[in-house]
């Protein structure tokens, strides 16, 4: 590893080039003309590379341009969620963020339509590029599309000159797309190679500026001006002393540090892995992410290329590119078992690891929640107060305001709420998009065995949910329930977990053990273990207050079965405030308990008074906010007072 890559810098990598929005067909096997639904992802080769390297633990930055509109905001926010530095991501006041629409017709055919005419990332402003920002990185990666126009060339030249002046390694991903060089019709984004002497001549003017050049055989053909791979590589070598990495698809890749040998395989050949291919789009960006992760961490070319091949294999087996990028934990788990995983997309352990390590935000260290997802209880409350049930949706909107007010009094930046879509759809709409922790129930209130509020076709419901909403499901469950009842409920929970995974929604399972004659401190721990053995790994658990021994047992189960679990929140069961605080005193000592989502304890008395006409809207908000703030302060005080763990020498 060159000394320049060992120097400490605040950034590992700056990616300069395309960043856009990908709209991937959800129908497999369809022509683009026949597609009816798309999934939206971050896109663009440089954007994917910044995203992928950040997931693999590098300190990456994006140097490009997006529009001053919703899609530009999406791109910026997605990069930030992955940990990418976007301080140099410019905003264009006039141009739109680029879009790509694509279908997955079969493993080798992917109709691709670029909407990039005069798009924002092709108008990157060279004058806004700060050489001091480039100097912060150990490497600068540029993609070939940004060598295709005068505007983008000026930006690349300024960045490359700054990199050279400050000892920053320069990387070129040839990334040849004929349509973006004007060599095919606008609808032919799928074609990957068209020979063109002028493009070859133009690219060759830049090759000497780079320390590492990466491309497929066809991309080296265009860079070298020959359709013979060895001849093309030799032409590139005559211009550039860079390390050359030639991608060979499923066969792997070959690295050349010096002269090009007589045979491809006489370079540093690193074999690929065989996987079932869903689509090949994004494989190159994933390959680059893995390669750069190894190279910038000082690994050998053989190791770096192994990372690259593995990342490419994982992405081609999944839908999308950026969201399919593996994390560091996922990559190493796959590398340890790759010879046996022809279908990594079907491996439960790998899929759970991908799901658990790519969640955003990455952590919720504290969840202090106001739960008002009640339905049956509120109808009963309205009836008892002789109030019109039609007022209940407005009540829930007031409770959203109470949550915001109570949180503001305690400095809680992200309130947590549980609210339903039966009486609380307007309340859900009010709370969404604000960065809150939002849980939303799916169970039919009071059902045992478990049934779902809107029927068994969970897909029809969940496909309309915002990604920020957490599925909450209450189940009245005991591991010693009669066999038929237990199997029925477990089957429903498995169905729900599979739906949560399919729709990329987090899942909270709330367990309330039915009362029994003999108290059983082991019931909750045994329930969790049973669900884990069934392959059900929710992101959250919601559990009642427990004894210290029960908490120890529950914590041990979670730690051993799913260390990536987000944690436990406490439920209230309409307990008096003082009883709730007493339960906190034990729970606050356990790291797996992240807080609470408590309901009627906080809002019941005030809601009854409001329904009866004894207080107005402001009075309701004040009373509930006051209760909520009091409980937040109590939790924080008890959490702060827990004894520190003894250090292990």
Query: What is the reported pLDDT for 649?
Result: 31
Overall average pLDDT of the 492-509 stretch = 96
Distance from C-alpha of 505 to C-alpha of 376, rounded to nearest angstrom: 26
Label residue 337 by pLDDT band (50, 70, 90).
very high
Mention every residue, 6+ apart, whose C-beta is less than 8 A from residue 187: 111, 113
Label residue 6 by pLDDT band (50, 70, 90).
low
Overall average pLDDT of the 448-471 stretch = 94
Query: What is the reported pLDDT for 29?
Result: 84
What kind of fold does domain 369-640 have according to CATH?
TIM Barrel (3.20.20)
Question: CB–CB of 20/44 below 8 Å?
Answer: yes
Label residue 647 by pLDDT band (50, 70, 90).
very low
Going by the DSSP 8-state scheme, the letter that residue 326 receives in this structure is: P
Query: What is the reported pLDDT for 350?
Result: 93
Query: What is the reported pLDDT for 340?
Result: 85
Phi, psi angles (nearest 5°) of residue 117 = -65, 115
Question: CB–CB of 246/266 below 8 Å?
Answer: no
pLDDT of residue 620 exceeding 90: yes
Ranking 285-299, 328-342, 386-400, 627-641 by mean pLDDT, the lowest is: 328-342
CB-count burial class (<10 Å; 0-12, 13-18, 19+) for 410: middle
Name the helix (H) or strand (E) containing 559: helix 548-561
Overall average pLDDT of the 584-595 stretch = 96
Break the chain into its structural domains and give their ranges: 3-357, 369-640
Query: What is the reported pLDDT for 210?
Result: 98
Question: CB–CB of 100/114 below 8 Å?
Answer: yes
Query: What is the reported pLDDT for 102?
Result: 85
pLDDT of residue 636 exceeding 90: yes
Distance from C-alpha of 620 to C-alpha of 202, rounded to nearest angstrom: 70
pLDDT of residue 114 exceeding 60: yes
pLDDT of residue 199 exceeding 90: yes
Average pLDDT score over the chain = 93
Distance from C-alpha of 597 to C-alpha of 640, rounded to nearest angstrom: 19
The strand pairing partners of 507, in sequence order, are 471
For residue range 12-69, list pLDDT tens digits in order: 999 999 999 999 888 888 888 888 889 999 999 999 999 999 999 999 999 999 999 9
Residues composing the chain: 649
Cα 246 to chain centroid distance, Å, stands at: 30
CB-count burial class (<10 Å; 0-12, 13-18, 19+) for 612: middle
Name the helix (H) or strand (E) containing 285: helix 283-296
For residue range 224-235, list pLDDT tens digits in order: 999 999 999 999
CB atoms within 10 A of CB 195: 14
Count the alpha carbons within 13 Å of 575 in the hemisphere toward its beta carbon.
18
pLDDT of residue 475 exceeding 50: yes
Confirm whether 3-357 and 369-640 share one CATH topology.
no
Label residue 637 by pLDDT band (50, 70, 90).
very high
Label residue 321 by pLDDT band (50, 70, 90).
confident
Class of 3-357 in CATH: alpha beta
pLDDT of residue 3 exceeding 90: no
Strand order, beta sheet including 20-28: 38-43, 20-28, 99-104, 112-115
pTM of the model: 0.91
For residue range 382-421, list pLDDT tens digits in order: 999 999 999 999 999 999 999 999 999 999 999 999 999 9
Distance from C-alpha of 183 to C-alpha of 228, rounded to nearest angstrom: 21
Query: What is the reported pLDDT for 317?
Result: 83
């Amino acid at each position: 590893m060159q000394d320049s890559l060992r120097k400490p810098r605040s950034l590992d990598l700056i990616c300069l080039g395309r960043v856009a929005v990908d709209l991937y067909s959800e129908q497999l096997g369809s022509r683009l003309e026949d597609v009816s639904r798309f999934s939206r992802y971050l896109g663009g080769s440089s954007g994917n590379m910044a995203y992928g390297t950040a997931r693999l633990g590098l300190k990456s930055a994006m140097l490009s341009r997006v529009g001053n509109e919703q899609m530009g905001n999406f791109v910026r926010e997605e990069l930030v969620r992955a940990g990418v530095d976007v301080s140099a991501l410019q905003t264009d006041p006039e141009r739109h963020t680029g879009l790509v629409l694509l279908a997955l017709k079969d493993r080798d055919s992917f109709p691709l339509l670029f909407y990039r005419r005069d798009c924002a990332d092709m108008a990157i402003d060279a004058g806004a590029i700060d050489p001091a920002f480039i100097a912060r990185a150990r490497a600068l990666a540029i993609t070939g599309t940004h060598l295709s126009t005068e505007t983008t060339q000026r930006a690349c030249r300024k960045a490359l000159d700054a990199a050279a002046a400050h000892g920053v390694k320069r990387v070129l991903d040839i990334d040849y797309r004929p349509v973006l060089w004007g060599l095919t019709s606008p609808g032919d984004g799928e074609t990957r190679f068209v020979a063109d002497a002028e493009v070859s001549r133009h690219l060759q003017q830049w090759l000497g500026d780079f320390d590492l050049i990466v491309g497929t055989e066809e991309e080296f053909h265009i860079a070298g001006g020959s359709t013979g791979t060895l001849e093309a590589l030799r032409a590139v070598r005559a211009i550039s002393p860079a390390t050359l990495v030639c991608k060979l698809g499923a066969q792997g890749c070959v690295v050349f540090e010096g002269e090009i040998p007589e045979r491809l395989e006489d370079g540093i050949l690193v074999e690929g892995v065989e996987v079932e291919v869903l689509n090949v789009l994004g494989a190159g960006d994933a390959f680059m992410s893995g390669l750069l992760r190894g190279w910038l961490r000082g690994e050998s070319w053989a190791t770096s290329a192994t990372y690259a091949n593995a990342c490419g294999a994982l992405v081609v087996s999944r839908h999308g590119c950026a969201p399919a990028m593996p994390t560091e934990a996922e990559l190493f788990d796959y590398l340890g078992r790759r010879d046996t995983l022809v279908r990594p997309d079907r491996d439960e352990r790998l899929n759970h690891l991908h799901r658990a390590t790519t969640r955003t935000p990455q952590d919720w260290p504290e969840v202090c929640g106001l739960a008002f997802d009640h339905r049956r209880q509120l109808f009963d409350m309205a009836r008892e107060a002789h109030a019109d049930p039609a007022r209940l949706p407005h009540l829930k909107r007031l409770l959203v305001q109470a949550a915001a007010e109570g949180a503001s009094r305690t400095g809680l930046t992200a309130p947590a709420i549980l609210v339903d879509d039966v009486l609380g759809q307007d309340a859900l709409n009010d709370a969404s998009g604000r960065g809150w922790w939002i849980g939303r129930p799916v169970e039919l209130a009071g059902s045992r065995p478990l049934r779902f509020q809107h029927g068994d076709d969970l897909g029809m419901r969940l496909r309309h949910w915002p990604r920020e909403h957490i599925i909450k499901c209450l189940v009245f469950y005991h591991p010693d329930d009669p066999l038929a009842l237990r199997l029925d409920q477990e089957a429903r929970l498995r169905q729900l977990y599979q739906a949560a995974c399919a729709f990329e929604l987090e899942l909270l399972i709330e367990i309330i053990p039915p009362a029994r004659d003999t108290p059983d401190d082991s019931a909750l721990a045994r329930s969790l273990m049973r669900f884990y053995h069934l392959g059900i790994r929710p992101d959250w658990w919601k559990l009642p207050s427990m004894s210290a021994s029960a908490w120890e047992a529950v914590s041990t189960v979670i730690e051993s079965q799913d260390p990536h679990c987000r944690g436990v929140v406490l439920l209230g069961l309409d307990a008096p405030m003082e009883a709730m605080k007493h339960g906190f005193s034990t729970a606050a000592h356990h790291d797996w308990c992240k807080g609470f989502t408590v309901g009627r304890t906080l809002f019941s008395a005030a809601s009854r008074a409001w329904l009866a006409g004894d207080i107005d809207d402001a009075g309701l908000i004040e009373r509930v906010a006051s209760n909520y703030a009091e409980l937040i302060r109590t939790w924080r005080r008890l959490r702060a007072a827990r004894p520190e763990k003894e250090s292990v020498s």
